Structure formats: structure tokens, C-alpha cells
Amino acid sequence: MLTKESLASFKEDPLVNQVLLPLMRAMKYQDVTKTHGGVNEQGKDIVCWCEDELGTRKNIAIVAKAVPINAQANYATGTAGEISAQIRQAFGHTFLDPITGEELQVRECWVVTNKTISKDALQSISSMLDSMMSRQLKFIGIDKLWELIELHMPTEAVWQKLQEARNTFAQMDPHYSPQVLIDDKGMSIGVKEKYPGASLESPLNIHASFEFPDQPDALDAKIAMQRHIETGAAVKVENKYIKALQLPNTFKNFLKPVLGEEYTMTLESVPNTLTTPVRIEFRNDASETVTAPYVELRLMMGGTEESTLSNEHQLIPLKFTFILRNKKGEIDITMEYVLEKNPYISQAFSQLQWQACLSKPFIAEVFDVSTGLRIMKMQRPMKFFEAPDPNLLGLVEDLMVLQNRTNKPIRLPSRDFTLEERETLGKICNIVRTGKVRATWDHFNVRLDHEGANKALETYGDGKLGVLRIENPNIETVKIFDSVSELGTTRITFFNAKLSNESEIKEILGKPIDADQEIELRFLPEGQNSAETEYIDWLTGDM
């Protein structure tokens, strides 16, 4: 952020790089090149050129300083002696054109500093130079430098204006400060407390009277004003309907230029900073209940007829709005459940529970957290929400069980489920509810030792059908969206299993073989080819 104050604090390198180089380019000088610190410096920190009044190229050298320039004749930094020596070097030595490489002579020299240049220094430097050099010399101190920045680099200079405005606003009043918003629609001016409670110490009294003629366009404005009086709702009033306006002296002069033009006054309630912690309980006609245990209600706006309380400032997904109709003794409530993107499954489950409960007529009761006493009760014959899809509710509930059993968090994606995800979710629902998954099979091969093969022949020999059970000691995992959860060990049952290579096995067993040699048994389904995988931990409840 460039301000005049920050400019004055720059050292020489940032002064050259961040200010003078872009400034000279903004001023349309050509081939602006830094020579500071290079072998071709010879007094010159920057070189560039422009066309003079006759269209002739005029080469310019800039001597940049980040110190005040004084009239001393010695050669210390910032003295007239040092500066005059650099000027003589700049005029006395050529420089190379950065494009063509041609040697060029300096015709004009600028001495630029982000500090001050004393009058004595100007005279002293000129007296040390010959008349030709003195005529081709320009001095630019911080004031002139800032003028050039404002003129040619207005975007950078705007921060200075904003800083000055901020300082002015800060000193305007000890209790309030103006708030100015500038956008493509214009300028909005408001007033804000400098600290909580400032309005109690020093109330800001503004007196205004309005007059709405009996005309169609004025009727809408009058209705909006009446609505503001009754409810505190924001209203915008054009100055043609403002008959009189009395402002505090502090802001009268500040707003005087604005009030002399066409303007619009906005009247709106300021939310109270005080909150009332409450617990809100809902019970529907089916005796289903949901509870918001801690809600911070804050008065958002109020008028002669109604007041509005809300917890919109509170960082919880449940957002409540209560409208109290003071004279009628009526209470209306609205609610929104705001889920973050990719919510945790527990958050989605909570939202669906609220949606299910409030999809039927309900009674709501509000209790003061501090005293435990009920402070409001209302009955709503209409539902808040449409009932959630029962399949979705059941799915999310099953995922909640899986998350709790495996202690691995699961997030829902903010998109539709893929086909593969739907199949995985269907499998998970079966595991959570029954501990089993049904499937089909077309073959199964297993390798057994001599003893195991003989036992298999006893069970499945002579073409007998049987039930084949295999214990799998490995932990099965499943990927759900971006999470991986463990399902535990499994036991697989193949129904209607028939040994398809019985004769081959008998032939092998009829020959002398090593007792440790394994024999492959191949099974095929006969008839119905159903299979079942049992998830042991889910059958026993151990995880």
C-alpha cells in the first residue's frame, strides 16, 4: 500500500524499483532502464528518453536519493557536494542504448528524492555546476514526487486519500465514526459506534420529518415507512420526501455537501449485541422430538407492532427466526438447517431427523437456559419441511452406525452417487442390518492337503451336493466416498456345491504321494447358485 508516509520511508533500491521506474513509464518516457549499481551507472540511477518540442530525442538521467539533500559542500551522502559530483558524472559520461547498444549523451538530469531538498542545497548545487548543466537540471523532492504519483499513478495514490479520510473520520467524534461504502451504484454513508455501548454513553439524536404527497409513487414510499415504524424493517427514503432533518453538529458539516444534492436516506434497525441463550424443543403430532440445546437469540429489529429475534450470528447449522407480534400476542417461527459442503454423515443425519420431525404439525417450546423456565410456546398446524426420502434416511442412519462402529469419519459428497457407490452403499446397508450379504457364485477352487481332500470326498463324493463354508481370516475393507472403513473378517457359504473333479482327486489319492502335497478341489453350483458372506464382527456385535 503506497502512501506519502510509506514513500518517505523507502530506501534507495525500493524507491527506484517500486516508484521511479513505474512512474517514468506511466509518464510515457521511453526505454526506462535502471542503471543503479551497474558498471554503467556513473552517477545515473535511471536513464530514459522522450521527444522534445521539435521532435528530437532528449535523453534523461535520474539521480535518485533516499535521504534529505542539504547544502554542505563535502561528499557525504545527501550533500550538495555528492549530488553535484553525480550530476557532472551523468552529463560527462555516455550510456548505452538498451535497445540498439549505441552510446548516447545525457541532455537533461533530474535529482529525485523521497525526502526534502533545502533551498540552500539548490543554490549550492547550482553554484558547483557550469551554467549549461544548471539549465538542464530539475529537482524533485517528496512533495513534487507525490504530485506526480497522484497524477500519473492514481490507482497507487488512492491509498493515501483513503488513509487521510480514515484519519479525518477517526478524529471526527469520540463515540462514532462514519462508514462509507463506494460501489458502482454510488456512495453510501453511515455511522457506526466506535466501541460497544457508545450509543448508550452518547445517544446519536437525529430528528427528521417526512411528507408524502397524495401521488402513486409516494404511496409506496409511505407504506414502506409505515412498515419500518411497525417492524423495524429497513426503508429507503428519497430526499424529496424529507421535510426536515436535524443532525448532530459533529456530522452536520461532514454531510452538508451531500445533503445539497439528491440523496436517499436509509433507516434500519441495529441488531442488539446482547443475546439470550435458550433451548428449543419441538414435538410433532407423532410424538417425534428434536431439540436445539443452545441457541443464542438476539434482537435483530423491532417496531411498534412486532420484533424479530434471530441467531443468524451463531456458528451452528440451525438458524431460527422468531417474529413476535407485540399487540396480538402471536409468535411465528421460521427455521433453516444450513449444511456445509461435503458434510459429515452425522450432520446429514441430524438434518434429516429435523426434516422428518418438522414435516408434520408440531408444538415448539422455548426455555431460558439460565433458569430452565419456559418463555415461549407456539403451535404450528402446518409443516416446515417436506418429509425426507425414507430410503435416504435409512441409508444415512446405516452409515452413522458404520461410522460409530469403525470410528472412521464419513463425509457425504456434494454430488449424485455413482453407480459403483450405490452398489457399495446397498452392501453396507445389508451388513449393518443383518451382518450378511447375499450373492451368486459360478465356481470356487480350493487347495487342501491329503487329509482335507479325503474329508471333502466323504462330504461331496459320489455327486452329493453340500454346503461349502470358507473362513477368511483377512480383514475386509470398503471405500465409501473418500473414506476407507474396516468390516472385519468374513465367512463365505456356497450353497448347492458339487465337487466337479471328483474322479481326478480319487486318482491322485490312489497313488503314493507326499502327505504335505496340496490337491486342488474345484466346486460348481448345481441348480440354485446362491452364496452368502457373513461379517463375523457384525454378527457378534464386536468391533
For the cut 70, the answer to whether the pLDDT of residue 40 exceeds it is: no
For the cut 90, the answer to whether the pLDDT of residue 295 exceeds it is: yes
Q: What is the mean pLDDT of the chain?
A: 90
For the cut 80, the answer to whether the pLDDT of residue 516 exceeds it is: no
Averaged over 512-527, what is the pLDDT? 87
- Interatomic CA distance for residues 110 and 119, integer angstroms: 16
Lowest mean pLDDT among 227-241, 458-472, 528-542: 528-542
For the cut 90, the answer to whether the pLDDT of residue 39 exceeds it is: no
Enter the pTM of the model. Answer: 0.62
The confidence band for 457, taking pLDDT boundaries of 50, 70 and 90, is very high
What is the percentage of the chain residues whose pLDDT exceeds 70?
98
Contacts of 516 (CB under 8 A, 6+ apart): 449, 450
CA distances from 412 to 100, 106, 111, 296, 308 (A): 64, 70, 66, 28, 34
For the cut 90, the answer to whether the pLDDT of residue 205 exceeds it is: no
- Interatomic CA distance for residues 332 and 382, integer angstroms: 12
Report how far apart the first and last C-alpha atoms of the chain are (Å, whole number): 59
Sorted by where each starts, the structural domains of the chain and their CATH numbers stand as: 4-155 (3.40.1350), 174-267 (no CATH), 276-388 (no CATH), 419-540 (no CATH)
- Interatomic CA distance for residues 225 and 234, integer angstroms: 9
Averaged over 298-307, what is the pLDDT? 94
Angle between helices 345-357 and 390-406 (to 10 degrees): 140
pLDDT of residue 533: 95
pLDDT in tens, 17-36: 999 999 999 999 999 999 86
For the cut 80, the answer to whether the pLDDT of residue 480 exceeds it is: yes
pLDDT in tens, 212-268: 998 888 999 999 999 999 999 999 999 999 998 888 877 777 777 777 778 888 888
The DSSP 8-state label assigned to residue 17 in this structure reads: I
Lowest mean pLDDT among 82-91, 125-134, 138-147, 512-521: 512-521
Contacts of 203 (CB under 8 A, 6+ apart): none
- Interatomic CA distance for residues 461 and 498, integer angstroms: 9
**Cell numbers placing 515:** 502327505
- Interatomic CA distance for residues 435 and 446, integer angstroms: 25
**Cell numbers placing 25:** 513509464
pLDDT of residue 54: 86
**Residue 186: left if φ>0, alpha if ψ -120 to 50, beta else—which one?**
left
